[in-house]
Structure 1
Amino acid sequence: MGLTGTALAIDAGNSKTDVALVATDGRLLGTARGGGFRPPAVGTGPAVDVLAPLVRSVLAQARPAGPVGHLSAFLAGADLPVEEERLAAEIAGRGWARTVSVRNDTFALLRAGLPDDGERVGVAVVCGAGINCAGAGRDGATARFPALGRLSGDWGGGAFLAEEAMWCAARAEDGRGAPTRLADALPAHFGLAGMPELIEAFHLGALPGHRRHELAPLLFSVAEAGDPVARALVARQAEEIALLATVALKRLGLLGEGVPVVLGGGVLAARHPLLHDQVTRLLSERAPGAVPHVVSAPPVLGAALDTLDRAGAGAGAHGRLRAARWARRQPPAPQPPGPQSPAGSARSRT
């Protein structure tokens, strides 16, 4: 792909999908945002169908003179190598670009948080609806996790924390568990009298399942107010985030080195003080050379930067792309119609 060409960048998570058309000199030519990308739920072909109108939209915005050179897709549901291969084959068959590459969406956050010149080595932990981690080492080494929820040993993320908050509040209400202010705060948020009413509302559908994502921010508020049960859940989440990062660094032989640890996703990007402070403290103890920092830029930026990397673009192109007004170009994603699974995309907003 020459430096005068164009490329497509796709970042697709459980709750929203972003597509961007970029010039290989770093100009942002068009963006589009759509709904969630869920190949495990709907199948590979139908999932990729979600991308088609977004690709058409960005191409219509810029009307490139020739074929798009490369398409970099960072996708939820690309959790295993075989899934990456299936998705890459499906996307390549659509003819949107001459060449296609597919990786798990966590790598988009990682690329967005790494420098554009010099060695691109580091680890990213994303905590949104679910949780995941990916790392890039020297000589092309990578570290990653299946990120299939409890099936693959995962703990945490906004959807998981929402379920834990409900579990603790329900048990506090009926006497099986320790007292917690969650038992009052959760139903009050929905204008309900107590936990029995909240449980019934979710069970019978009076409250749609996707509204459970509202419970995780309540958990953090109750924890900040000093509730021991809520604080224990936040501490456990901080432990898991630090554990993922340190294990990945160790696998890559980077545990004692001063490399970036990129933190992102809705839960981490919110910078809840209790969580953020515990994560940084744990990392300072276990990986003292690591440099943690939160990335709030849209992960599609990482996908777009990847296209410039593949084109051999210079630092000026990367800087131009980073300076683009991404947030102003992207309308909000539509609300999902139903409950979200904590597996697959870890980065969905919570």
Structure 2
Amino acid sequence: MGLTTSACLAIDAGNTKTDVAVVDIGGTVLGRARGGGFRPPAVGVEAAVDGLGTTVAKALAAAGAGAAAGVAARPAVPGAGAGTGTAPDSGPAPGTGAGPPVPLVAHVSACLANADLPSEERAVTAALTARGWGRTTYVANDTFAILRAGLPDDGSVQHGIAVVCGAGVNCAGQDGEGGTHRFPALGRLSGDFGGGGGLAEEALWFAARAEDGRGEDTRLAREVPWHYGLTSVYALIEALHLGDLPRARMHEITPVLFQVAAGGDPVARALVERQADELVSMVRVGLTRLGLLERATPVFLGGSVAAARHPLLHDHFTRQLAVHAPKAVPEVVTAPPVLGSALLGLDAAGAPQASRARLRAHYA
């Protein structure tokens, strides 16, 4: 059975996890699923979208879409429906190889990490559209999901800034009149600092230099290796270099950094405060480029690091934001970002405000 008469397929894909929800026009969540991260730079667009397809198939199956079994397959007709955001309305089920797929939902709303450049958005839009999951497809960077989740549903405020600090950092905003501003958000390559991954690398760098005498003493040199059951930073470096400890586990250093910073360690505190300063800088630039610096503007904080409200990070951020953007109003968004993707889908469908309220209640 298809769901095309009413359903939206909402996708929020970050570096480490993907959430998918199937939502009807009334704001009821019909099915949902969670999968791994979305990393086209590492595996290529098609393979990354294949990974999305596995999670999408689970969500559609949970929603009762009988044809969902073929969703994870690549389209039999290369490029079918690609490029315009519109897929054909008839044909056999996805993955059968007999022609263009039948859309299973009315609209696909996908907010994705690593869709940082317009060219990347176009490539992912083409790949998603070719799958034929929905009649129309919209792709945006995942920062816009945080922005939409934070904005009110009645349209009373349509301008705002979202700043995300999770595995990486990003910032995007809109002026409410069609103008947007964003950063490339490609890590150090594009001038970014921090995020969970960046902070972990910095903490290990300072720990290594403290242990070997090149840098200032810091408790990080003792607490970071202890976390892994090791007795020295040297042993930790060796384990990471030789592959005895997977590099993926480096993200565990970030909570240690915050614990050490909370205990007053000067090196750790300086790192956390620098992260807050960098986020403020992104927000200030976004507000300035959008002409919002002198206008009361909501600033929504999202991502696993920012939304955790670590006192040192959050308090330093709010203090510095008040200095550099006095009219900005910070607010932490704790709802899952897939809510923002789904709200964008309901917006596209022209759903009534009561539908959005029902959807928010589901994720409250």
Structure 2 residue 61 is the aligned partner of structure 1 residue 57: no
Q: Residue 3 and residue 42 in structure 1: after superposition, are their counterparts in 2 closer, same or farther (change >3 A)?
A: closer
Q: Residue 311 and residue 3 in structure 1: after superposition, are their counterparts in 2 closer, same or farther (change >3 A)?
A: farther
* Partner-residue secondary structure (3-state), 2:115: coil
Supply the distance in 1 between the matched residues of 2:253 and 2:308 (Cα, whole angstroms). Answer: 14
Q: Residue 215 and residue 189 in structure 1: after superposition, are their counterparts in 2 closer, same or farther (change >3 A)?
A: same
* Partner-residue secondary structure (3-state), 1:139: coil
After the TM superposition, which segments of 4 or more aligned residues of structure 1 sit over 6 Å from their partners?
none
Q: What letter corresponds to residue 193 of structure 2 in structure 1?
A: W
Q: Residue 188 and residue 180 in structure 1: after superposition, are their counterparts in 2 closer, same or farther (change >3 A)?
A: same
Structure 2 residue 170 is the aligned partner of structure 1 residue 132: yes
Supply the distance in 1 between the matched residues of 2:58 and 2:215 (Cα, whole angstroms). Answer: 52
Q: How does 1:271-290 map to 2 (within 5 A)?
A: 271-290=309-328
Q: What letter corresponds to residue 97 of structure 1 in structure 2?
A: G
Map Cα deviations across residues 32-81 of structure 1 (whole Å, 9 max, x no partner). Answer: 11011111111110000011122222222223598411101111121110
Task: Report the Cα offset of residue 139 of structure 1.
Answer: 1.4
Paired residue for 2:96? none
Match of 2:136 among 90, 94, 99: 99
Paired residue for 2:340? 302
Consecutive unaligned residues in structure 2, runs of 5 or more: 67-102
Paired residue for 1:6? 7
Paired residue for 2:127? 90
Matched-pair contact (CA < 8 Å) for 2:7–2:24: yes
Consecutive unaligned residues in structure 1, runs of 5 or more: 327-350
Task: Report the Cα offset of residue 179 of structure 1.
Answer: 0.7
Supply the distance in 2 between the matched residues of 1:96 and 1:316 (Cα, whole angstroms). Answer: 26
Larger RCO (CA within 8 A; separation ≥ 6): 1
Supply the distance in 1 between the matched residues of 2:56 and 2:239 (Cα, whole angstroms). Answer: 39
Supply the distance in 2 between the matched residues of 1:61 and 1:208 (Cα, whole angstroms). Answer: 34
Task: Report the Cα offset of residue 325 of structure 1.
Answer: 4.3
Task: Report the Cα offset of residue 3 of structure 1.
Answer: 11
Matched-pair contact (CA < 8 Å) for 1:3–1:24: no
Q: After alignment, is 10-19 or 57-66 more displaced? A: 57-66
Q: What letter corresponds to residue 44 of structure 1 in structure 2?
A: V
Q: How does 1:32-71 map to 2 (within 5 A)?
A: 32-63=33-64, 67-71=104-108
Structure 2 residue 360 is the aligned partner of structure 1 residue 319: no
Q: What letter corresponds to residue 201 of structure 1 in structure 2?
A: A
* Partner-residue secondary structure (3-state), 1:324: helix
Structure 2 residue 240 is the aligned partner of structure 1 residue 239: no
Paired residue for 1:340? none
Matched-pair contact (CA < 8 Å) for 1:3–1:25: no
Q: After alignment, is 240-249 or 307-316 more displaced? A: 307-316
Supply the distance in 1 between the matched residues of 2:184 and 2:237 (Cα, whole angstroms). Answer: 31
Match of 1:113 among 150, 156, 180: 150
Matched-pair contact (CA < 8 Å) for 1:3–1:311: no
Q: Bigger radius of gyration, 1 or 2?
A: 2
Map Cα deviations across residues 250-287 of structure 1 (whole Å, 9 max, x no partner). Answer: 11111122221000101111111000000011111111
Paired residue for 1:343? none
Map Cα deviations across residues 279-322 of structure 1 (whole Å, 9 max, x no partner). Answer: 01111111111110111111010000001111112221111000
Paired residue for 1:208? 246
Task: Report the Cα offset of residue 25 of structure 1.
Answer: 1.3
* Partner-residue secondary structure (3-state), 2:256: helix
Matched-pair contact (CA < 8 Å) for 2:18–2:37: yes
Matched-pair contact (CA < 8 Å) for 2:197–2:251: yes
Supply the distance in 2 between the matched residues of 1:3 and 1:116 (Cα, whole angstroms). Answer: 24
Paired residue for 1:75? 112
Aligned residues: 325
Q: Residue 321 and residue 148 in structure 1: after superposition, are their counterparts in 2 closer, same or farther (change >3 A)?
A: same
Matched-pair contact (CA < 8 Å) for 1:121–1:137: yes
Supply the distance in 2 between the matched residues of 1:301 and 1:13 (Cα, whole angstroms). Answer: 14
Matched-pair contact (CA < 8 Å) for 2:221–2:232: yes
Matched-pair contact (CA < 8 Å) for 2:161–2:283: yes
Q: What letter corresponds to residue 281 of structure 2 in structure 1?
A: L
The RMSD of aligned alpha carbons is 1.6
Match of 1:249 among 269, 287, 290: 287
Structure 2 residue 199 is the aligned partner of structure 1 residue 161: yes
Q: Residue 302 and residue 242 in structure 1: after superposition, are their counterparts in 2 closer, same or farther (change >3 A)?
A: same
* Partner-residue secondary structure (3-state), 1:98: strand
Q: What letter corresponds to residue 317 of structure 1 in structure 2?
A: S
